[in-house]
Structure 1
Amino acid sequence: MSHTFDDQTHGADITRLFPEQATDTRSHPSRPKRGDLAASTADALAAAGAATLICTGHCKSEIQHVIDHISRKYKKVNMVFVTADTSSLASFHEAGRTIKKMGLQIDGFIGFPSVMAVPWEMTGDGHESHFQRNYLCYFLLVNILLDDMVHGSRVVLVTSCVRTEAPAPTWVDVRFSNGEDYHCLEGYSQSMLAMILFAKSLSKMCGDRSIAAFSANPGNTKTNVQTYISMDQMESWLERKRIEGEEIPVSLQQTPKSLAQGSATILRGLLDPDLQEESGAFLNHCQALKLPHLDFPAGEESAQALWRRSQEFLGAFL
């Protein structure tokens, strides 16, 4: 059955249309804090009767109010917290082991960005902070949990807006010459492109198990990168792109969305059976958007290079 979705669709609209999928979901929204997109998405799933919601965070006190709110409001939902600090790959490795020991069948996974447009910083594991905290930790966790994902599971990796003609990265210098060639938006953008290509690789690798993967741009919600950066930073980034021959209009600062509207694209990727054939797609305003240089086969070489680099970085944990 076909449905019409657009930038005005709310998360509750999606869960109402696919109640069976929402009821079965055991999803993994990360770091849900009061009034943010992860919390709004978790609330929509709980309202629809999700069986179990596994939430992660640096410490439980960060999200205790979200857990308490959902537990009080939706008493049949099993809320589980697992410690997972995106600044520590060892923490995410341990989180994966902890979740596996629970013996739950995972049929939905959602990964949300952890940092947005922050100054140059290397993590204790030796990686640029955006690359590890927005992408590499999820590459690790998803690979640990793949064997526990049931036939028909969904993986949704939350990303940001991307130019339709965005080129495929080479992944030669993910550390920006140790910060010498770094801009906060370049760091964020690199991690978002990594999430997009990771979803495409997962889709191809897991197709025989009907595990679908999507990257999803929720739009300009309260937690969007534009909330965290100054116009000076945006203008300096646009000027850098113009010098490199890439025209990126300021109109990429999308019209603001409510959290309910932002969650809709994520939830469609997680729940809509009609999207199965679009697995690997980048979702924007609840629609699959074509990215000619990133979609396979054009982007496959870049995605394979990213996968190899990620395995190299995570050799001790995989």
Structure 2
Amino acid sequence: MNDRTMEGKTVVVTGASAGLGAEAARRLAGLGANVAVVGRSPEKTAAVARQLGAEPLVADFTRLADVRKLADTLLDRYPRIDVLANNAGVVLSKRSRTEDGYDTMFQVNYLAPFLLTNLLLDRLTTAGPARVMTTSSKANRFGGVDLDDLEGARKRSEMLRYGMTKLQNILFTRELARRTQGSGLTATAVHPGVVATTGINQGNPLIAALVRYRLLGSLVTLEEGAEPLVHLATLPDPQAANGVYYHRLKPNGPVHRQARDDQLATRLWERTAELLGVQVA
């Protein structure tokens, strides 16, 4: 038997309508997983799901109502969720706000996965051992989190704000691992690399700058970019990765000094839960 088999496993992949999210969904489905394909574009999400014989679920993370509706749908349709891959994210070169009133990068990259994970937490911790994987970035090193400025409104550039959201992902992962210790759930953050066919080809100046100054490492292929998510979903001993930040396939990747601050992780969790009005353990 293939030691990476996902037969009988239910996997939710957000940001799966294109790019490495779609590729990871294909790879996991190929290993036998029942994949819920979550994306923003109805057409692209349906196309990927159709290829996999999977279910397309449309959710726009710039609307928190969509995140709550997505959680309700997942809880209604899946009696167990074995893997939640919080992969959706954006990189923006100009500031904008969502209809919920939050900075767009802050909401899509951090608030939305925080909310979705918490809304699914009972299912993740009671239906059997589960894994939560959150896509972060090497850019976390120049982020910096200020509890009095969660959105990074005082940061001078979008590059710094993007890095902040990815550092928040790592702190979220660290605190999730602590809060669910002993439940069977494991949480991991990962930098998958920068896929050569996305962002840059779309002319995003922020990604172009990150790549130009080698702040995110070398470019990777689509297949290489999806491999870390597949690797973590199939890791034989997920407890070894619990609370850990991976740089592609290697644990304990380079992080901002705040990433190891347990008190900051706890306080960030509490502030975020209060902001979103969610009940947490």
Fold-level match, TM-score > 0.5? Answer: yes
Task: Say whether residues 1:222 and 2:199 are aligned partners.
Answer: no
Partner of residue 207 from structure 1, selected from 155, 160, 181? 181
CA distance in 2, matches of 1:57, 1:283: 24
- Does the CA-based 8 Å contact 1:93-1:317 persist in structure 2? no
Which structure has the larger Rg over C-alpha atoms?
1
TM-score by length of 2: 0.87
Mark the CA change 1:143 to 1:254 in structure 2 (over 3 Å): closer, same or farther. Answer: same
SS in 2 for 1:121: coil
* Structure-to-structure mapping, 1:98-137, within 5 angstroms: 98-137=73-112
Partner of residue 128 from structure 2, selected from 144, 147, 151? 151
Task: Say whether residues 1:311 and 2:278 are aligned partners.
Answer: no
Show the counterpart of 1:10: none
Could you give the per-residue CA deviations for residues 90-111 of structure 1, whole angstroms, max 9, x where no partner exists? 1111111121112420010001
Partner of residue 4 from structure 2, selected from 14, 18, 40? 18
Mark the CA change 1:303 to 1:224 in structure 2 (over 3 Å): closer, same or farther. Answer: farther
Could you give the per-residue CA deviations for residues 1-57 of structure 1, whole angstroms, max 9, x where no partner exists? xxxxxxxxxxxxxx95422xx2232111113234x101100010111111x211222
Mark the CA change 1:32 to 1:292 in structure 2 (over 3 Å): closer, same or farther. Answer: closer
Show the counterpart of 1:161: 138
CA distance in 2, matches of 1:199, 1:262: 20
Answer 1 or 2: higher relative contact order, Cα 8 Å, separation at least 6.
1
SS in 1 for 2:149: coil
Partner of residue 95 from structure 1, selected from 70, 89, 99? 70
TM-score by length of 1: 0.78
CA distance in 1, matches of 2:146, 2:196: 31
Larger deviation: 300-309 or 225-234?
225-234
CA distance in 1, matches of 2:230, 2:137: 15
Task: Say whether residues 1:175 and 2:161 are aligned partners.
Answer: no
Task: Say whether residues 1:66 and 2:51 are aligned partners.
Answer: no
Paired AA for residue 259 in structure 1: L
SS in 2 for 1:44: helix
Mark the CA change 1:316 to 1:274 in structure 2 (over 3 Å): closer, same or farther. Answer: closer
Partner of residue 38 from structure 2, selected from 56, 81, 90? 56
Show the counterpart of 1:4: none
Partner of residue 288 from structure 1, selected from 240, 245, 251? 251
Mark the CA change 1:106 to 1:55 in structure 2 (over 3 Å): closer, same or farther. Answer: same
Mark the CA change 1:305 to 1:124 in structure 2 (over 3 Å): closer, same or farther. Answer: same
Q: How well do the aligned residues superpose, as a CA RMSD in angstroms?
A: 2.8
Structure 1: 5+ residue stretches without partners: 1-14, 72-78, 239-248
CA distance in 1, matches of 2:207, 2:128: 47
Structure 2: 5+ residue stretches without partners: none
How far apart are 1:264 and its partner, in Å? 1.5
CA distance in 2, matches of 1:130, 1:230: 15
CA distance in 1, matches of 2:99, 2:143: 30
Could you give the per-residue CA deviations for residues 130-178 of structure 1, whole angstroms, max 9, x where no partner exists? 11011111111111111111332000001111466x686233212344x
Mark the CA change 1:99 to 1:223 in structure 2 (over 3 Å): closer, same or farther. Answer: farther
CA distance in 1, matches of 2:256, 2:39: 35
Mark the CA change 1:113 to 1:23 in structure 2 (over 3 Å): closer, same or farther. Answer: same
Task: Say whether residues 1:28 and 2:12 are aligned partners.
Answer: yes
- Does the CA-based 8 Å contact 1:157-1:214 persist in structure 2? yes
